[in-house]
Chains A and B, each alone.
Chain A
Amino acid sequence: MFTQTVDLAKTSVRTLNQRLHDLNAERDEERWRILNPRGAHAIACGLRVQVTVEIEGHAGYYCAGMNQKATVIVHGNVATGVAENMMSGIVHVNGNASQCAGATAHGGLLAVEGDASARCGISMKGIDIVVKGSVGHMSAFMAQTGNLVVCGDAGDAFGDSVYEARLFVRGRVNSLGTDCIEKEMRREHFEILETLLKRAGCDVHPEEFKRYGSARRLYHFQIDNASLY
């Protein structure tokens, strides 16, 4: 099933990433298996072609950062900044994600089977993030575009200073951040949500979610809002 196996107990992350970067044509059929990640940083960063990489264990910071086109599956937890600045492709975490999951990412799908901690989707710019568990405080801070779907609960200051990202939460929101409000779920939102839940393999109904987004009160400076900045 796997076309390549790389054991990080024997091979450095730099060598692994270089080999992945050297792939210069789409490799739809290739499945790479990475053994013994042991929390190493920057595993499978900067991939640019269609290839599947499966990481057998816990990965460290910035796993699958800057991903384009590739599918990266982690059979474990990931530390800070998984799929940071992802452009396209799929990153699937079977465990939990630490803070800043999907930060600043422009596209692609990040699916987290467990929880994601603080600042999930911070400054997201077009990525779709589906978290099957809960997200920590300050998630979707300054989120610009894209969709964040949280099947569990959201921590404090959710969606603080959000721009135009769509935020969907199935459970409880501890508190909303500045300028973030609950919004009506219209037909297009149910459709978006249904598609995303299906893509992430989530067996819950779109009707169970609430939508949150920007009240757009901070877009233009108003002296009455000075204390909110």
Chain B
Amino acid sequence: MCGIVGLFLKQSSLEPELGALFSEMLVCMSSRGPDSAGFAVYGTPAPAGKLKAILQHSNPDFDWSAIGVALEKQFRDKPSVEVNSTHARFLVKTDVQSIRSFLEANFPEVRIMSVGRRIEIMKETGLPESVVERFSLRKIAGSHAIGHTRMATESAVTTEGSHPFSTGVDLCLVHNGSLSNHNRLRRRLGREGIEFHTENDTEVAAGYFAWQLANGATLKEALEAGLEDLDGFYTFAVGTEDGFAVLRDPIACKPAVLAETDDYVAMASEYRSLANLPGIEGARLWEPEPAVVYNWSRTQRCEPAFRRDNRIGVTAWGVSGRQKSSQPDKILNPSSRV
């Protein structure tokens, strides 16, 4: 099962309320994913020249000051540190590769949740409500957030098996579904130099998108390439520095509902998660079509999605049945006549 939610604010006026609005969306999806929960919030940017790194240690009493001291010695700049339960946010004057190499060499027990200018990924096992409480998510401000509630099927219930997965600088992925070719793809990407830390299928998808992006693909191109290379079922939500994207597999195995108003775009596995958003009564509601990339960003003009994919009838929840990208020859495999 699993539940995914995303909330992207078009205007800055709602930013202080992002955490509160988003928390309710996430907790509402507890019935779809009670094992673990996680989220990526895009908050205040790191000061110029600095990186925001979110680190995690399984011991909530871990002494983060030692890492602060080591980072200062290595990068000759005193990092600022803010501890939030099992996670800590460091603002460090360095680049992505240097901090990754340094931490892996010197503090292998510390996990890097995310690195970027704005992204902050936090995730833990437990009921979504307990994860929201643990990180005081309701108080966190930002422009957008994506989150996940997990019902594990493909790998163990652990912090590192929880979503979101970081896919690169300021990028992350959440996934509802399961992939069937992740073992082969993991080996293939491993040969390309992509590292994996779990047996989790979504980590492979995250690594795949990271690899595509590193090879020059745009986010849309990377997602569209995924339609060919990722075998399985999925609804993906991808967070970027200034926006988010949604993609469903070509036969739309996993649910997704989108809502758009003048103030926000919200997505969730089920409408229940959207029901408490302000102005939802007047929102345009629809199901994203299979195999179509939907994306929004603050730096590009936000076109209404129904105009972007140029299809009639995609103005509300149901879809119109004009999926030009689904592939009947490929998907039709009626295994038996019962």
Contacts and interface: CB of A to CB of B under 8 A. Distances in A.
B334 A134 contact: no
Nearest to A218: B337
Interface in A86-140: 95-99, 112, 114-118, 133-139
Contacts, number: 134
A98 B251 CA distance: 14
Contacts of B334: 141-142, 160-161, 178, 228-229
B272 interface: yes
B86 interface: no
Given A117-B287, A138-B251, A39 B275 contact: yes
A183 interface: no
A118 B316 contact: no
Nearest to A112: B318
Contacts of A98: 255, 287, 317-318
Interface string A174-209: 110110000000000000000000000000000000
Contact of B290 (A58, A114, A137, A175): A137
A153 B321 contact: yes
Give the dominant DSSP class at B's interface.
loop
Given A38-B275, A95-B317, A79 B270 contact: yes
Contact of A136 (B274, B321, B336): B321
Nearest to B255: A80
A155 B286 CA distance: 16
B210 interface: no
Interface centre among A112, A115, A134 (most CB of B within 10 A): A115
Given A96-B316, A115-B321, A161-B334, 5 more contacts: A115-B317, A136-B319, A155-B319, A156-B323, A160-B332
Interface of B: 251-252, 255, 257, 270-276, 285-287, 290, 313, 316-324, 326, 328, 331-332, 334-338
